[in-house]
A and B are shown apart, each in its own frame.
Chain A
Amino acid sequence: MADSGRPTFETPLKRVRGLGSARSGTEHFWRQRMTAIAGIPLTIAFLVIVLATVGKSHAAVVATLSHPLVAILMMLFVVTGVVHMRIGMQVIIEDYVHEELPKIGLLALNTFFSVAVGLGCVYAILKLSFGA
């Protein structure tokens, strides 16, 4: 507020809006909802794709997964999923781990794991699509 002594019309609300005390605002909250909504049709698509490949030969599975529409849906499912799960696991860690060092370590591992799984899956899908 008027810490500088100068008169101002600014209220504490001005500080709360935008980034707030955690410096990240409602970004995580909103992103978790957006990936949740996107995840509904993508999860259904994923299950249909899996059912289309159950028990099939390697060649048939590769043929299915390399179809552009399937590959794009799979990549959307993977990216949406890892963004969603990274935020979710961060909330779990912050809820249960209160000591600073283990918390920071687990939050880092959470990011590494999510990025590694996401990149690994996307790379595999691209390799299946473009061959070699």
Chain B
Amino acid sequence: MADSKIRAERPLSPHLQIYRPMLTMVLSIVHRITGAALYLGTILLAAWLISAATGRSGFEQTQWLFGSWIGRLVLLVYTWALLHHMLGGIKHLAWDMGYGFGAEAREATAKLTLAGSVGLTLVVWVVAYLVR
């Protein structure tokens, strides 16, 4: 702090906002965000299971909450986050083993995880509306 002049002249290591956003980079950030969202989402899972174990009236309250428009919206995002994190995770496992680092493979798997997660979310929700 005493030498703030010197400090100001030091080059800073580049931060995220310096780079032009690229699909692979955005998906890397999304992978972390969906992971953190799923972390908080476990509260929904615990609420569902614990209320089911508590009894009928408690469970029906949870069902009412999950069935409200805001509940459905949260569950829709939760479904997508879960599927996106799963598909992104499969991609990361392939990278761990050294596959798919080429420019074309990178772009293709990025688009595939995105389209796959949106597509699978739609499949799950269409099935949910059909069977309920």
Contact = CB atoms under 8 A, between A and B. Distances in A.
Contacts of B83: 43
Contact of A39 (B53, B89, B127): B89
Given A54-B128, A89-B36, A82 B52 contact: no
A22 interface: no
Contact of A36 (B39, B46, B89): B89
Interface in A113-132: 117, 120-121, 123-125, 127-128
A62 interface: yes
Contacts of A33: 93, 96
B35 interface: yes
B interface bracket (residues with beta carbon within 8 Å of A): 20 to 34
Interface in B70-98: 79, 82-83, 86, 89-90, 92-93, 96
Contacts of A121: 42, 45-46, 49-50
A77 to B, nearest CB: 9
Contacts of B32: 92
A98 to B, nearest CB: 14
A54 B126 CA distance: 12
A124 B89 contact: no
Contact of B86 (A43, A65, A117, A120): A43
Contacts of B39: 85, 88-89
Interface in A25-70: 33, 36-37, 39-40, 43, 47, 51-52, 54-56, 58-59, 61-62, 65
Interface of B: 32, 35-36, 38-39, 42-43, 45-46, 49-50, 52-53, 55-56, 59-60, 79, 82-83, 86, 89-90, 92-93, 96, 124, 127-128, 131-132
Interface of A: 33, 36-37, 39-40, 43, 47, 51-52, 54-56, 58-59, 61-62, 65, 74, 78, 81-82, 85, 88-89, 92, 117, 120-121, 123-125, 127-128
The 4 closest A-B pairs by CB, nearest first: A55-B132, A124-B49, A124-B53, A127-B53
